Amino acid sequence: MAVKYGSLPFDAQIAFFRKKLAMPSRSWTDIMHGEHDHAFVVAGATRMDLVTDMQGAVQKAIENGTTLHEFRKDFDRIVAERGWTGWTGEGTKAGRAWRTKVIYQTNLRTSYAAGRFEQLQKLEYWQYHHSPASEDPRKQHVDWDGLILPKDDPFWLTHYPPNDFGCKCWVTGLSKQRMAAKGLTPSQSPKIEMEQKTIGTRGPNPRTVSVPKGIGPGFAYAPGRSAWMHAHVPAEKMDAPSPFNKRDAHFRIIPDRASHDLMPDPRPFPAKKLLPPMPAGKEEAYASAFLQAFKADIGKPVVFTDVAGESMVISDDLFKDHTGAWKMRRDRDRYLLLLADTVRDPDEIWAFMEYHRATKRTVARRVYLSRHTINGERQAAWSVFEYDKDGWNGVSSYQSDQKQFDEWDNKITLNRRGIRLYKRGEK
């Protein structure tokens, strides 16, 4: 039986949560608002095996009615098995109790609200309810109790509950007929006053956000809305699920936030490590040179652990297309060992979700970036990995030489988007 706040199993809640994609993150500020409709994250969990296990524990709670006490047992087991240390709340009984409660309740309440969002579309009016079970009532939430507004009122875009950590408010729907039968009339839509709040100051990704008064940072959205829009809005009007932002004509990513700080200074790369131009038909030999930097070879993949502690498969698939044919470009052949160094010792590692318009697939991607100089010439390099049921696997590697600093920075900045999991020299 699904975890519920009513009397029946809630299939819509289960379906919503199952569609989420596990994503690594360093801070709770990495994924915000409607991005949570598509991504499952546990702040500070940067390894996919860890995040995937945590998602499974929450899924179990939703589908089978796992209690908080039982979830805590699952949490402890996963932490021990995956060797996760340094997580917020670690080391004290109170810290563990708080952290597990936040993960458990926030995911159950937002997924339940998302399921309800889909159900409520059938009714013309929505009514806000403040929970009498609230141990620490928030003034604005109490003020909104009983508020009745049309379902398309802008108020619901930012005030559809839950509206903060621990918020137990909920919404019910009313038809025009029921409104008339009960003698109810719509309320006046409240004036929304915004305020600036700086969040995540103790973590690696502090940011200032604008939120309505009474709404906790990160909760100013309607859980389930972007997922519902993707399922119901005609494709010609919306070719990617909100809040995926446009990257190019074929792909969309979340979170589509760029870094505005500088990358680490470029490092020199020995010219002697450049390979000679690749003769025709020698793709296999050149791919082998790359693989041997990881003690792998053609047909002999290895599992490599990167500087951020993530494990991935290094194989010749990195240089093959979907048919198995070699896809190595001649203008990158000389730089294969530079590309290998980019994965082994990157300047930065980024992760994001990418929506493919043609296939309607959403995948998790991980990008390794580096900048080097070779005999004074500037070289940028990046390698892309994709996560599936078998773990991280290579998709492609790229190299680009730029004569001007602005071109160089702009080229690599296009890839500095999403969640930064690692930066060379940063603790």
* One pLDDT digit (tens) per residue for the chain, 427 residues: 344 444 445 899 999 999 999 999 999 999 999 999 999 999 999 999 999 999 999 999 999 999 999 999 999 999 999 999 999 999 999 999 999 999 999 999 999 999 999 999 999 999 999 998 888 899 999 999 999 999 999 999 999 999 999 999 999 999 999 999 999 999 999 999 999 999 999 888 899 999 999 999 999 999 999 887 756 554 444 444 555 555 554 457 889 888 888 889 899 999 999 999 888 888 999 999 999 999 999 999 999 999 999 999 999 988 888 888 988 877 778 889 999 999 999 999 999 998 877 777 888 999 999 988 888 888 888 888 888 777 887 777 777 765 555 555 666 777 888 999 999 998 7
**Last residue of a domain, which of 175, 208, 243?**
243
Q: Are residues 280 and 235 in the same domain?
A: no
Q: Are residues 32 and 66 in the same domain?
A: yes
Query: Would residue 257 count as lying in a domain?
Result: no
**Given this model, what pLDDT does residue 243 score?**
58
Query: Would residue 261 count as lying in a domain?
Result: no
Domain total in the chain = 2
Query: Would residue 350 count as lying in a domain?
Result: yes
Name the pTM for this structure.
Answer: 0.87
**Given this model, what pLDDT does residue 234 score?**
47
Query: Would residue 123 count as lying in a domain?
Result: yes
Q: Are residues 213 and 307 in the same domain?
A: no
Query: Would residue 163 count as lying in a domain?
Result: yes
Q: Are residues 162 and 79 in the same domain?
A: yes
**Last residue of a domain, which of 243, 276, 296?**
243
Q: Are residues 278 and 237 in the same domain?
A: no
Q: Are residues 221 and 311 in the same domain?
A: no
Q: Which of 394, 288, 374 is nearest to 333 (CA)?
A: 288
**Last residue of a domain, which of 243, 258, 282?**
243
Q: Are residues 27 and 144 in the same domain?
A: yes
Query: Would residue 6 count as lying in a domain?
Result: no
CA distance 115 to 111: 6
Q: Are residues 41 and 92 in the same domain?
A: yes
Q: Are residues 233 and 273 in the same domain?
A: no
Q: Are residues 210 and 326 in the same domain?
A: no
Q: Are residues 220 and 353 in the same domain?
A: no
Query: Would residue 319 count as lying in a domain?
Result: yes
Query: Would residue 336 count as lying in a domain?
Result: yes
Q: Are residues 228 and 279 in the same domain?
A: no
Domain that holds residue 374: 267-423
